[in-house]
Amino acid sequence: MRSVESIREDFPVLKRVRRDGKPLIYFDNAATSLKPRQVIEAVKRYYEECSANVHRAVYELSQEATDLYEEARAKIARFIGCKPEELVFVKNTTEAINLVAYGIRWSAGDEVVSTVMEHHSNMIPWQIAAERFRIRLRYAGIRPDGTLDLESLSELVGRRTRLVAVCHASNVLGTINDVRRIAEVAHENGALLLVDAAQSAPHMPISVKDLDCDLLAFSGHKLLGPTGIGCLYVREGVEEEVKPPFAGGGMISRVELHGYKLSDMPWRFEAGTPNVAGAVGLAAAVDYLTSIGMESVREHEKRLTERAIEILREIDGVEIYGPMDPERRCGLVSFNLRGVSGDLVAALLDERENIAVRSGLHCAQPLHRILGVQSSVRASFYLYNTLDELEAFRRGLKRISGELGRRD
């Protein structure tokens, strides 16, 4: 991998230094990533040099916008190993999952099997679909080590299961799920598999063919890209099971006063003017990550996670959630310091070391209830984070623990 120092040079926000001289340490990458100047420049270039709409006009500028947009799609499709026509642009992971939840041609009595470790974005759409379409939602549990209980999932999936919806990596536990095994269980029972890849696509190599999933969702803003752009992979043929929940311009090939014919894939799911600048920016992000190599990104994050776990284990009264083995988790660690609220830990890390970590429920309220905690602190890493930054984290936490921690 390129040296971390040279990578850091590409991220303007990392140049921020506080009045007390402390540089920003950004450990909230699971919420959103920072953006390299290559992405910022690609977006700026689109607005400065093109700015036209896509798929509408014959004049040169519009053709150019269409080319930029479709080239972006082809590039991002290659990044996850699918065909361009299988890649739908959406706003974010949340919109991708909602598109499926409201679009599937459900039959009353169909079942969705999900897990208790999901982000609300992969939970509430199914709850609302259950209310609306009279389908049933069931949840597989987790084991004490924070891994998915595959046996309970296998028992829940059956003849009535229409769809299995799981995260590839948990945004709280960090657990990486064995998606291939889950795909076998789903497909043996004739069900579709939807993968929420919000926390995996930015951090490790992804191949939808290897995962053997039917649908996969991720957000651009967590993957060095702009906000407001994300992707839904729809395996060829699966589009017939999903009716576009949004309708308007750009998604039909023929319209009568009382009838319409849908466009081909993927445009049938992209009603209205799309986020062209977002797609262009996300393609630049994919170029950036590809030039570094996703294997290298993953290895770098594994080292950081291993060190973060070591540091947390050294400190009295720290409870860590999720599997301890860095092979089985993505680059984030959630924890609590006994006797100190998560918000206070996060506020003190910010105040004393200029470290940005997230505290709270991380859009996973049921999971926190199952863990038996009111909230947690989450440190999440990316390719520009360093072991030196983790030393500041260690220093900050030790001090907080010494001053406020309870040791019973």
Ligand X SMILES: Cc1ncc(COP(=O)(O)O)c(C=O)c1O
According to the binding rule CB under 6 A, does residue 198 interact with ligand X? yes
Cβ count near 20 (within 10 Å) = 8
Closest contact distance (angstroms) between CB of 187 and ligand X is 23
Stretch that binds ligand X, among 90-98, 104-112, 131-139, 267-275 (CB under 6 A): 90-98
According to the binding rule CB under 6 A, does residue 10 interact with ligand X? no
Q: At residue 115, what are phi and psi to the nearest 5 degrees?
A: -135, 160
- Residues 303, 387 contacting (CB under 8 angstroms): yes
Closest contact distance (angstroms) between CB of 194 and ligand X is 11
Q: What whole-number distance in Å separates Cα of residue 403 and Cα of residue 41?
A: 45
Closest contact distance (angstroms) between CB of 121 and ligand X is 4
According to the binding rule CB under 6 A, does residue 216 interact with ligand X? no
Q: Considering beta carbons, is residue 94 or 263 the nearer one to ligand X?
A: 94
According to the binding rule CB under 6 A, does residue 200 interact with ligand X? no
Closest contact distance (angstroms) between CB of 92 and ligand X is 3
According to the binding rule CB under 6 A, does residue 305 interact with ligand X? no
List of residues 6+ apart from 144 with CB closer than 8 A: none
DSSP 269: G
Q: Which of residues 68-87 bind ligand X (CB under 6 A)?
A: none
Closest contact distance (angstroms) between CB of 395 and ligand X is 28
Q: Considering beta carbons, is residue 52 or 356 the nearer one to ligand X?
A: 356
Q: Considering beta carbons, is residue 94 or 401 the nearer one to ligand X?
A: 94
Residue 241 to residues 83, 89, 107, Cα–Cα distance (Å): 19, 18, 11
Stretch that binds ligand X, among 13-21, 79-87, 91-99, 314-322 (CB under 6 A): 91-99
Cβ count near 269 (within 10 Å) = 24
- Answer yes or no: 231 catalytic: no
* Helix 124-133 / helix 93-103 crossing angle, nearest 10 deg: 20
Binding mask 113-142 for ligand X (x = CB under 6 A): ------x-xx--------------------
First-residue to last-residue Cα distance in the chain = 44
Q: How many residues bind ligand X (CB under 6 A)?
A: 13
* Helix 294-314 / helix 387-404 crossing angle, nearest 10 deg: 20
Q: Which residues of 143-175 are buried (b: 16+ CB within 10 A; e: fewer)?
A: eeebbbebebbbebbeebbbbbbbbbbbbbbbb
Which residue among 153, 167, 179, 377 contacts ligand X (CB under 6 A)?
167
Q: What whole-number distance in Å separates Cα of residue 37 and Cα of residue 364?
A: 32
The residue among 84, 86, 79, 93 whose CA lies nearest residue 168 is 93
Stretch that binds ligand X, among 191-199, 283-291, 304-312, 374-382 (CB under 6 A): 191-199
Closest contact distance (angstroms) between CB of 171 and ligand X is 3
Q: Which of residues 22-51 bind ligand X (CB under 6 A)?
A: 30
H-type helices in 164-218, by residue range? 179-188, 208-211
Residue 52 to residues 55, 66, 270, 274, Cα–Cα distance (Å): 10, 9, 17, 11
According to the binding rule CB under 6 A, does residue 275 interact with ligand X? no
According to the binding rule CB under 6 A, does residue 224 interact with ligand X? no
The residue among 327, 349, 366, 364 whose CA lies nearest residue 403 is 349
Q: What whole-number distance in Å separates Cα of residue 148 and Cα of residue 156?
A: 13
According to the binding rule CB under 6 A, does residue 98 interact with ligand X? no
According to the binding rule CB under 6 A, does residue 55 interact with ligand X? no
Q: Considering beta carbons, is residue 30 or 232 the nearer one to ligand X?
A: 30
Which residue among 114, 115, 199, 385 contacts ligand X (CB under 6 A)?
199
According to the binding rule CB under 6 A, does residue 93 interact with ligand X? yes
Which residue among 29, 33, 92, 401 contacts ligand X (CB under 6 A)?
92
Which residue among 147, 161, 171, 376 contacts ligand X (CB under 6 A)?
171
- Write down the residue that tokens 């739908």 correspond to: 88
According to the binding rule CB under 6 A, does residue 94 interact with ligand X? yes
The residue among 81, 92, 89 whose CA lies nearest residue 32 is 92
Q: Considering beta carbons, is residue 379 or 400 the nearer one to ligand X?
A: 379
Q: At residue 284, what are phi and psi to the nearest 5 degrees?
A: -65, -35
Q: Considering beta carbons, is residue 166 or 311 the nearer one to ligand X?
A: 166
Footprint of ligand X on this chain (CB under 6 A)? 30, 92-94, 119, 121-122, 167, 171, 196, 198-199, 219
Catalytically annotated residues: 363
